[in-house]
A and B are shown apart, each in its own frame.
Chain A
Amino acid sequence: MAEKVLMKGNEAIAEAAIRAGCRHYFGYPITPQTEIAAYMAKRMPKIGGTFLQAESEIAAINMVYGVAAAGMRVMTSSSSPGVSLKQEGISYIAGCDLPALIINVQRGGPGLGGIQPSQSDYFQATKGGGHGDYHLIVLAPASVQEMADLTIQAFTLADKYRCPAMLLADGTMGQMMEPVILPEPQTSAVEKPWAVTGTQNKRPHNIINSLCLRPEQLEKANFERYEKYKQIEANEVLYESFMMEDAEYCVVAFGIAARVSKNAVISARKNGIKVGMIRPITLWPFPTDAIAAAAKQVKGFVCAELSMGQMIEDVRLASACTKPVLLCNRVGGMIITPEEVLEKINTLAAL
């Protein structure tokens, strides 16, 4: 087995991306994700790759668009305000059905907000973010190991479905160090005959384009894209189920909030409350079926998240509001404590 190394989450993303065969990185400095850029700046020139500090997040995502159009693995990373700037390019990439990876190491907002951890870009990440009907495949790591593993997974899924993917982390995940076993280097096995690599006078010209002025054609393109999304929803949902076998209550949380909630679940169990946790790993596609099944089993849910209540809407939808769903949240860079989650579990159990 490969050696365990102690690594920051941000660095684990960067190293995993390189091991996923990503040789092109474009970024713009913003806390708390700058280690990714720093790591790429150091490594890319040594392995014949591109590191480019773009003039803006907008330029960076459009450089990503260019490399993705050429059919190569490519990524950019930023944090909340920067990811807002990237939305234009993300919408184009989605509209052109190109694979690419966008990292969002979230911080508190709105506006310039703060630099401390947050999960308040959930809506932006899972509901589109930019203009038009589209989805990103959104993966939410809850450990440094997952920062690495899900980076690889994101590239794989992006290629498989010709779809941009996002790793939705937060400041804690980016800054913390944990032991990580780095994944083995790999290459994309997916053929990309659609890529604009030059016709070599052997085929008709390829066009990467999201413009479609005929409504009937644009509608058809959207319908086709959503057929693809149905496949993703059917095949790619990932979640962790923790102590759910006999659970009477269920905590739903992702990323850092799930780490905190796990402590609370363990404490509650010690107090004799049968509680479990569902941790969505893919935020889109959301583990709707798992939540729906849990809704039949448990008496209620606690949704723990670092936002004013964003994922809670998906929990309520998935459970069809058949059971109470309580929100346990802190925002602005504050992080919920296990005690706060425990208190909500107690409140739920007392209902």
Chain B
Amino acid sequence: MTTQILISGFGGQGVLFAGKFIAYKGLLEEKEVSWLPSYGPEMRGGTASCSIIISDEAVGSPIIANPDVLIAMNLPSLDKYEPACVPGAKLFLDETLITRKVTRTDVEAFYIPATQLARDAGIPTLGNMILAGNMIRETGIVAMEGVEEVLKKVISAKHADLLQANLHALQIGYQYTKEML
């Protein structure tokens, strides 16, 4: 099986980091993975995206044209990538920042107020990991078990103090359901 995940949002929202986390989790589950960022002159505030492929077989092209999973952290990302998703795709949207609903009916949409949840939890910059946590729960592409080990790999020693916050964000996302509200 091969899953193509696209994460997109503003630069600075942690799009690339969330992608790296997911790819590394796949790696530690002994899957084949690739991670490909968009790169450009904009460092903060512009649009950033990354493509992650997790597969049981060697990854061919690392470029994703039609994602199976889309994590959209802003409206331009949803506008751009919603039409590209495969039928049956799962879309995870930051409901705090994206005010519209998904228009396609052949995909499954999950609305998570990630930015709001992050603010409420005192970890305002970690909406990305809340969305990642929810994606893990709803897709099962990778397991929640062992995420701490992955965080140790992707968080540099300099920022080791952020490990618990990231773990917390993942858990918030993983546990989040509409019924909670």
Across the interface, name the chain A residue whose C-beta is closest to B34: A178
Say whether A263 faces chain B, with CB atoms less than 8 Å apart. yes
A-B contact count (CB 8 A): 60
Residues B61 and A338 in contact, CB atoms below 8 Å apart: yes
Stretch of B5-13, B20-28, B105-113 contacting A (4+ beta carbons < 8 Å): B20-28
Residues A172 and B63 in contact, CB atoms below 8 Å apart: yes
Instruction: List, in ascending order, chain A residues with CB within 8 A of B144's CB.
Output: none
Residues B59 and A178 in contact, CB atoms below 8 Å apart: yes
Residues B39 and A262 in contact, CB atoms below 8 Å apart: no
Across the interface, name the chain A residue whose C-beta is closest to B2: A263
Say whether A198 faces chain B, with CB atoms less than 8 Å apart. no
Instruction: List, in ascending order, chain A residues with CB within 8 A of B59's CB.
Output: 178, 259
Residues B65 and A337 in contact, CB atoms below 8 Å apart: yes
Residues A179 and B60 in contact, CB atoms below 8 Å apart: no
Say whether B140 faces chain A, with CB atoms less than 8 Å apart. no
In Å, the complex CA distance between A176 and B33 comes to 11
Say whether B45 faces chain A, with CB atoms less than 8 Å apart. no
Across the interface, name the chain A residue whose C-beta is closest to B63: A335
Say whether A308 faces chain B, with CB atoms less than 8 Å apart. no
Q: A172-B36, A178-B33 are contacts. A266–B27 as well, Cβ < 8 Å?
A: no
Chain B's interface size range is 20 to 34
In Å, the complex CA distance between A6 and B37 comes to 14
Residues A262 and B36 in contact, CB atoms below 8 Å apart: no
Instruction: Tell which of A31, A175, A335 has the most Cβ of chain B within 10 Å.
Output: A175
Residues A171 and B39 in contact, CB atoms below 8 Å apart: yes
Q: How would residues 158 to 182 of chain A score, 1 for a CB under 8 Å from any chain B CB and 0 otherwise?
A: 0000000000000110011111000
Instruction: List, in ascending order, chain A residues with CB within 8 A of B39's CB.
Output: 31-32, 115, 171, 175
Q: How would residues 36 to 80 of chain B score, 1 for a CB under 8 Å from any chain A CB and 0 otherwise?
A: 110111000000000000000001111101000000000000000
CB distance from A115 to the nearest CB of B (A): 7
Q: Which of A249-271 contact B (CB under 8 A)?
A: 256, 259-260, 262-263, 266
Instruction: Tell which of B27, B34, B37, B41 has the most Cβ of chain A within 10 Å.
Output: B34
CB distance from B135 to the nearest CB of A (A): 18
Residues B60 and A260 in contact, CB atoms below 8 Å apart: yes
Say whether A4 faces chain B, with CB atoms less than 8 Å apart. yes
Chain A's interface size range is 20 to 34
In Å, the complex CA distance between A179 and B52 comes to 12
Instruction: List, in ascending order, chain B residues with CB within 8 A of A176's CB.
Output: 34-37, 62
Instruction: List, in ascending order, chain B residues with CB within 8 A of A259's CB.
Output: 59-62
Instruction: List, in ascending order, chain B residues with CB within 8 A of A4's CB.
Output: 27
Residues A177 and B61 in contact, CB atoms below 8 Å apart: no
Across the interface, name the chain A residue whose C-beta is closest to B33: A179
Residues A263 and B60 in contact, CB atoms below 8 Å apart: yes
In Å, the complex CA distance between A337 and B63 comes to 8
CB distance from B155 to the nearest CB of A (A): 13
In Å, the complex CA distance between A338 and B59 comes to 13
Instruction: List, in ascending order, chain A residues with CB within 8 A of B60's CB.
Output: 259-260, 262-263, 266, 338
Across the interface, name the chain A residue whose C-beta is closest to B51: A176
- Residues of B whose CB lies within 8 Å of any CB of A are 20, 23-24, 27, 32-37, 39-41, 59-63, 65, 153
- Residues of A whose CB lies within 8 Å of any CB of B are 4, 6, 31-32, 115, 171-172, 175-179, 256, 259-260, 262-263, 266, 335, 337-339
